[in-house]
Amino acid sequence: MRPLNKGNTPTDSTGNPISPTDYKSWRKALIDRIGAYCAYCNMPIKHALQVEHVVPKNPPAGYTVGDPLAWSNMLLACGPCNNAKGNTPVDSITFYLPEEHNTHLPFVIVPHATDAKHAIVTERPGLNVNQFPKAQRTIALTELNATDERPNIVDLRSRERKLAAITVNSTRNIYNLAAAINPILAAEHVVHVASRTGFFSLWYEEFMNEPLVMEKLTDNNIIKGTATNCFDPANGYKPIPRNPGNIADPI
């Protein structure tokens, strides 16, 4: 899951923070800041991209009510992620959140155990006793390990994730040839394909040891909204924890 930083509340032409009366009217500003991808599964969304309340505006009684209109509580989501998340109470202690954590670190994308059509998200091996249950809860929150084999299928995420993995492998093979001739052009091509394919963790994993590619993959002028503080320019733009002061779980 790509770590995000969507920035401060957008301002109007006079420099005042925009305060819409309909949360859906944040959609354009969100696309401009973080691109047209689901913030949770990172699938590119060409239509019906939903504006999503990170902390739900109608949680069960007794839980924190999310601000119904504030920019700070908005992200973009696909239908399956948003529907799965629903009114589940959300906070950054219980879940890994794309604007609070380096959400690349706790997860890994793997082939489905028995059905080659699908790739799913699972907990990254090596998480500690604080991190593992939090990763597990986050996967359950938006059902990032789900496959949909119903006749009236609506959830294409696992299939699209698998196709993205194939695209990453193919792009890597071409990159290996092209980089020997023109590394900059080769890296730019990878990032162009990545921006159209989404599922950014696949790209980070594959190109982890290619600093030129990682620099461009994590450049938020190229792929908007990536939290650049989650990648270390002094170490080839490899992912780094976002909360280093939290000893129990710096992710």
Q: Which stretch binds Zn ion (CB under 5 A): 67-75, 77-85, 96-104, 227-235?
A: 77-85
Q: Which stretch binds Zn ion (CB under 5 A): 71-79, 112-120, 178-186, 188-196?
A: 71-79
Interior angle at CA 82, CA 145 and CA 137, nearest 5:
45
Q: Which is nearer to Zn ion, 82 or 218 (CB)?
A: 82
Q: Which stretch binds Zn ion (CB under 5 A): 57-65, 70-78, 173-181, 220-228?
A: 70-78
Q: Which is nearer to Zn ion, 30 or 78 (CB)?
A: 78
Contact flag: residue 191 with Zn ion (CB under 5 A): no
Least Cβ distance, residue 180 to Zn ion (angstroms):
37
Q: Where are the alpha helices (DSSP H) in 77-217?
A: 79-85, 131-141, 157-179, 183-197, 200-206, 211-217
Q: Strand 119-123 and strand 107-111: pairing?
A: antiparallel
Using CB under 5 A, which of 74, 81, 141, 223 touches Zn ion? 81
Q: Rounded to whole angstroms, how far apart are CA atoms 220 and 239?
A: 15
N- to C-terminal Cα separation, the chain: 13
Contact flag: residue 38 with Zn ion (CB under 5 A): yes
Using CB under 5 A, which of 26, 37, 40, 200 touches Zn ion? 40
69-106 burial code (b ≥16 CB/10 A, e <16):
bbbebbbbbbbbbbebbeebebeeeebbbbbbbbbbbb
Q: Which is nearer to Zn ion, 81 or 190 (CB)?
A: 81
Contact flag: residue 203 with Zn ion (CB under 5 A): no
Contact flag: residue 78 with Zn ion (CB under 5 A): yes
Q: Which is nearer to Zn ion, 10 or 79 (CB)?
A: 79
Please choose, from the candidates 235, 221, 170, 226, the residue with its C-alpha nearest in 3D space to the C-alpha of residue 200: 226
In the complex, the residues that contact Zn ion under the rule CB under 5 A are: 38, 40-41, 78, 81
